[in-house]
Amino acid sequence: MLDTSPLTAAVERFADRLRAAPQSRLQQGAAEVALDLARELSLRAQRLEAASSGAGDAAGAAPARTMPDAGIFVVGDQLAVAGLDLAEALHAAVAGPAGAPGPDAAKAPSEELDEAVRLVDQAEARALR
């Protein structure tokens, strides 16, 4: 089982800081950085979900859905949702179809996890410096 707690902890920490940030900080770019990150995490989750469901084929691939801009005051919640979606997609990628361990399950999802944690940490540093 892949431990996604580093990702969920980083996402929740950043989301909590965004929720507590003053409007001026959000307007100065923090919300924009966080929305970009939420969109990236969401797209990564969608790619993993499509690959694990077999819908990643060109013929049956649905277009990626982009997280909407719902305003600066909800970006923390959007980030939290996107991060949890990615954590769940990583769990599914490790389990493979029907709960069976997938081939090379420990390698690709763990690399994706590490990269996602780095993205969150970097975005938090940019947004709230």
pLDDT at 77: 97
pLDDT digits (tens, 9 = 90+) for 42-82: 999 999 988 877 665 555 567 889 999 999 999 999 999 99
pLDDT at 10: 98
pLDDT at 1: 81
* Confidence band of 34 (pLDDT split at 50, 70, 90): very high
pLDDT at 104: 45
2-11, 31-40, 46-55, 91-100: which range is least confident on average?
91-100
Q: Flag whether pLDDT at 106 surpasses 50.
A: no
Identity of residue 30: A
Burial, 113: exposed, middle or buried (Cβ in 10 Å; 0-12, 13-18, 19+)? Answer: buried
In percent, the amount of the chain with pLDDT more than 70 equals: 85
